Amino acid sequence: MVLHNRLSATELKQRLAAETFQRVTVSFYQYAKIADPQAFRDSLYISLSALGVFGRIYVAHEGINAQISVPEHHFEAFKQQLYTIPFLNGIRLNIAVDDNGKSFWVLKIKVRDKIVADGITDPAFDMEKRGRYVDAAAFNKLTEDPDTVIIDMRNHYEYEVGHFDKALEVPSATFREQLPMAVQMMQGHKEKNIIMYCTGGIRCEKASAYMLHQGFRNVFHLEGGIIEYTNKAREQGLPNKFRGKNFVFDERLGERISEDIISQCHQCGAPCDTHTNCANEGCHLLFIQCEKCAAKYNGCCSEACTDVLALPEEKQAELRKGVDKGLMLFNKRRKRTP
């Protein structure tokens, strides 16, 4: 049996567009000890493929991290299949807040060293010793306490388009850099309540364990992250303290949480929170672009990339050869000039 996709991206996207049923975008994670990640990966691929599931899943000795799209008519079967796995039985599933059903178009399950790259090498670090969960109601109450500090454990480009009121940014593009930075930032606040949050809970859960490992005591993390918080706040009629858009790592690139637009177009400075990738495949920079600039630069991040995009495809392919794009993210230290 083939345990990976063999179709082209073009064909897969055409198949997705032709589907006549709805899909549900779901995310979940679990820190658990998986003895044989490759065998677990292969078994999971077989079961999820049979249900028409798309998405991106990472498996490691420390657990699983999944963002997927499930056919609505197979959702219950998917849950039952997932719950047959002992350490996933009854696991919380984060249902997307703003879902168009087009979040993924292929199933990819990869074995990794860790489900969250953290840079932690201390053998004494223990994920079992993590911070206390807070749900939406407890989060709102705790944030009213002046002795509470809220820390956003997401990257700059995520924080930029949306975050909780009074949340502190840990200004870095990688989680492994953020952990020691968060410890340093909080050195003068060890007696305060520290609430950590992220998109779906996986990063802030590990971050809370790391803070405890570094000697902090009153550490909390938001259960289910921004996604679960938003769903529960709506269900329970609670004030929603998140402003803007929640960045997500799929084709949508964001879900609208509130009507506030707190960021700007990286090219003209107009209010905007629409992320896109530069249309020049040799660049592919992730940045924020308004409709006016998208039309002006043909979906590119700069005039230089617009000029490249106008070249014949063979010439573009030639220019892309041997180019290491690295981490192509717009940030405060690396700006593109139109």
337 has a pLDDT exceeding 70: no
pLDDT of residue 325: 54
Structure tokens at 229: 């918080």
pLDDT range class, residue 335, cuts 50, 70, 90: very low
176 has a pLDDT exceeding 90: yes
Task: Calculate mean pLDDT across residues 18-43.
Answer: 96
Residue span(s) of the chain under CATH 3.40.250.10 come to 132-236
Average pLDDT, the chain: 92
Residue span(s) of the chain under CATH 3.30.70.100 come to 21-111
pLDDT of residue 329: 54
Task: Calculate mean pLDDT across residues 230-234.
Answer: 97
Task: Calculate mean pLDDT across residues 67-87.
Answer: 97
pLDDT of residue 336: 41
327 has a pLDDT exceeding 80: no
331 has a pLDDT exceeding 80: no
Which one of the listed residues 198, 265, 272, 305 is annotated catalytic?
Answer: 198
pLDDT range class, residue 326, cuts 50, 70, 90: low
pLDDT of residue 12: 87
**CATH superfamily, domain at 132-236:** Rhodanese-like domain (3.40.250.10)
Task: Calculate mean pLDDT across residues 329-335.
Answer: 46
Residue percentage of the chain with pLDDT more than 70: 94
Active site residue 283: no
In this predicted model, which residue has the larger pLDDT, 324 or 210? 210
Top-level class of domain 21-111 = alpha beta
- Which segment of 102-116, 230-244, 308-322 scores lowest on mean pLDDT? 308-322
Which among 252, 295, 298 has a CA at the least distance from the CA of 270? 295
- Cα angle 271, 307, 281; round to 5: 75
28 has a pLDDT exceeding 60: yes
What are the tens digits of pLDDT across the range 269-316?
Answer: 999 999 999 999 889 899 999 999 999 999 999 999 999 999 998 888
Which among 174, 170, 127 has a CA at the least distance from the CA of 29? 127
